[in-house]
Structure 1
């Protein structure tokens, strides 16, 4: 990998320079780079721009246009070939040797130390490894350059115990998931339920419900977060009934994004951008004998069977079933942001149908097997004056059946 330096004071475009000789340039001649092995001038300028003038070796990130100690301006960059200019050089015999050896995809901007390191240990730093370093660095610079004030967002996270585990969401995970948005503040709003024990406790749900309502309302009452940044991003991992509670107290006057954890992704809170769209289907299983009794089975992450419903959901109840169309309910179905929006549209239509078909209805009994953002949307999309209250049930393994945990959208 020959060493050609990038220079802010290059000579005439197209002039050649060896590693030891430099071409004098007028003081007013300004260029982004210095010639390196016949690399086109525009390519070198683009390389410097893509890297923001920083070393592209993973973990280095040194700014190369000032002296590291004195901070005096200067050019300390080197345009490095990933696959060497000569076949006998480092990685020069790579079987996928590029046709354009001086093309930008075969060049990295490196400091002298990192350049020496990767060339001295070519087996430790093969072609694919260096390309990964380059692409990671350039993707990060591109993302940062796209940030603007309109892309800031306030962040709210909900953490709790689920079973015996304390479930938390890391700040770094949140920051990656928000892109192209970014946090308006380095400190996030956190509703912490971990000190309340787990959901098996007799007072757990009343205490957790009260804490969620109080702290969420305090967030809006404070006003400061939303004076300058009128956007909210919500990350929650908690029992489904509590996520519904959270959604019910979020304000629909502030644009709000909800996020899903994907176990099969390295950046687990980022949405997939491709894939087949999810479709939803709703059907009336049976018409009950009492118009004021309605239950909804939400079979999305898993199947809610009629046989495990509590005894109070008897023949007087009309049963609606909301599920996936053309697919078996499964935990990984929700992959794209558009799939969440499609659910919300179908859910709002279901609420409208239920209200129309059951005049005077006061409560809908809800049995959800759903992912976290869907649970939050169940509460968020309720209209206080137009929709009934929701009685939220959760499957209790101790009794092998559903138990009512809390209610939302009713006067407290």
Structure 2
């Protein structure tokens, strides 16, 4: 197959799509931009940088916040899964919708995602509960799934914001 188009989907579904594509397969991932309305990377505006950090320490339950399109407060995590959790975060600068403007932005995102996934495995082990809380664009959700390796990284549950009291998919 030479190309596939995905327009809508929840973050957990898009991460799973990325996992199925994997980073072994060559793939160019794009998303539809709202302004200007187009597919692909506009290659304009500032480049996006990504950072990772460790937060509140806890037991063998680990949360990973993907704060790319907006900030995810720690209290939203603890309200959903409890206080006994070690919170990690990957965030972007800037942090907004339409943040991916360059192909290099996705390359930097893939690079930064690998490091915390490996650090989480090395620090907490493979036999942990890894809960992922995404606020990410479509392209980053797919790329996150492509980077995650089932043999090399802990299993994960991906949570999705549901208006009726939180939840996971």
Instruction: With the length of structure 2 as denominator, give the TM-score of the two structures.
Output: 0.91
* C-alpha distance in 1 between matches for 2:40 and 2:22: 23
Q: Which residue of 2 aligns with 1:283?
A: 53
Tell me whether 1:349 sits opposite 2:140 in the alignment. Answer: no
Instruction: With the length of structure 1 as denominator, give the TM-score of the two structures.
Output: 0.39
* C-alpha distance in 1 between matches for 2:83 and 2:61: 9
Tell me whether 1:254 sits opposite 2:25 in the alignment. Answer: yes
Q: What does 1:317-356 correspond to in 2, within 5 Å?
A: 317-325=85-93, 327=94, 329-356=95-122
CA apart distance, 1:316:
2.1
The structure-2 alpha-carbon separation of the partners of 1:156 and 1:318, relative to structure 1 and needing over 3 Å to count, comes to same
2:13 to 238, 242, 265: 242
Q: SS where residue 65 of structure 2 aligns?
A: strand
The structure-2 alpha-carbon separation of the partners of 1:342 and 1:247, relative to structure 1 and needing over 3 Å to count, comes to same
* C-alpha distance in 2 between matches for 1:295 and 1:251: 23
CA apart distance, 1:312:
5.8
Q: SS where residue 396 of structure 1 aligns?
A: coil
Q: Which residue of 2 aligns with 1:301?
A: 69
CA apart distance, 1:264:
0.7
Q: How many pairs were matched up? A: 169
* C-alpha distance in 2 between matches for 1:251 and 1:317: 29
Deviation per CA, 1:206-233: give whole Å up to 9, x if none: xxxxxxxxxxxxxxxxxxxxxxxxxxxx
Q: Which residue of 2 aligns with 1:154?
A: 2
* C-alpha distance in 1 between matches for 2:129 and 2:163: 25
* C-alpha distance in 1 between matches for 2:22 and 2:121: 23
Q: Is the 1:297–1:322 contact (alpha carbons within 8 Å) kept by the matching residues of 2?
A: yes
Q: What does 1:27-176 correspond to in 2, within 5 Å?
A: 154-158=2-6
Q: What stretches of structure 2 of length at least 5 have no aligned partner?
A: none
The structure-2 alpha-carbon separation of the partners of 1:273 and 1:311, relative to structure 1 and needing over 3 Å to count, comes to closer
- In our comparison, the structure showing a higher alpha carbon Rg is 1
Tell me whether 1:365 sits opposite 2:131 in the alignment. Answer: yes
The structure-2 alpha-carbon separation of the partners of 1:404 and 1:369, relative to structure 1 and needing over 3 Å to count, comes to same
The structure-2 alpha-carbon separation of the partners of 1:315 and 1:254, relative to structure 1 and needing over 3 Å to count, comes to same
2:41 to 271, 294, 297: 271
